[in-house]
Chain A
């Protein structure tokens, strides 16, 4: 069951976001900006006791020119390459004043993180500075008008990789770089998966030391996608495993959402920057994505399931879940059975788990089925 981490989504009460809004309207983000949503949500999690440090990046513009600021928390603009260092200084000063309850957050784009800011970032990570570094990665220098960065994926068009086949080199594997620093917490997050996003920010907030959160942040003008597709692209990036959601806490890797994979085609199709990418190029991208996924799964101690078989799927199950594991799964489904019902459900599980005629059910489907069966029995 460890392959599945998804609660039953019924589309009704989807996200549990904190109520208090901090971020102000009227900011200068482009319509449909992914960063604006991320910032708004992250600030809700961080709360008022937060200091933001922002290097040159889209967000430096989004927050507003003098005399305005949208952030609602103190925000320090700093030089492009110096977010991590400046934030270190803020933390040092707070430490010196014995103030412990303020979150110091560096909020930087991919240029300021992957490229020009990497040196200061690496140093701050090595010093295990007590800060949260959030890289919102829109995969190019968007603020200056879509120039290639080391975060730009292979094949993408930018104004500085205008000719076919787009950017020839692959995207820098920043995750591995950061994790190699043995920082207390590393996570990738997408605003599309808001619960996961909020969980990770909450977790990061509560950990001491250097925490790094990598956000994939769709950018309508830069990726050449419809403004309304921002969230959809997040979903597709995660499901196609282009941007897996995982975290590394104390050197333990964990995939936080293991999707049934969809092909990368739809993700690419929605974006004008990949318009020229066809046939063999797509295959090459898919190969790279699969390779990375395999590596990730290996680190997370998971079977990779690169190419799950087409219908009918045959699920082989070996060991019946223990009663405790089963309880855990039930609680994930918000199921609150009586003792009798629990007993019945577990008996059903034991009899169906290894039954070949149920092998076309995935573990989750089988359990849903059992839940439904128990629910229609009168167990009182």
Chain B
């Protein structure tokens, strides 16, 4: 009981840290924004028209409201979504290597988006062209997971081992198809679009997209927290779960479907951002243990901190340019994971 209070205490500290990093990320970038500028935007006065750096306040306001804020909030939401998806995936399939990417969900989404880009679905003014990439990504992910479930059925239940194997196969197949499409694409602009998308980007997010992924995250997180104790039992294996009164087969399918929906929403708007789902849950478990109530809450917050930080770096690392966020998450995530492996080895 006392331990719970400590855990909540650290969580609040992390949330405060998240707010600080988010605020820092909002005000830094190619157009500098001061805290005073934000104050003037919130309570406008007729005497102050220009920002501290001499840019019109109306322009600063536009940058803040239509670019920086949705981007930073999306980074938080996506970081949290990918981290909890990874945590749940690892427990439900009882494999520490599992994340939505290993299971082929994101490569299915990638394939869908590549088809949309290469075949030029997104060209034009209609609603369908505007939504073609997200819709195709979502369809790609859904078809991929459907195939994975079909391949992993054994004696009328989903085998965790087959799930991983089927995911690996579908992953490789979708990646090969995407590459083939890029290879035959004539337009170099399209090739660049696909490449940028497969490396992940938060540069073109809108408030609507933030809203959609945010609501998705909220629903899925609440569901997972509600089933945290079942996840604890499922972590001990199928038989153990059954003898504790839990049907792991039903829960596993429901949870993987929820992870698929959440991941494909993320992938459809922001592309493939790897390593968050794999590394963050492991880092969190090494700090707070593997009880899912805490693993999920901490993964959400640490994932958000990680991605807001990575997004900030992606914008400021090279002046006048932007590094794809997927590159940074891998570049930061891999060494973090290596350090974790080394420290765990010492402990054992």
Query: Do the two chains belong together in a single complex?
Result: no
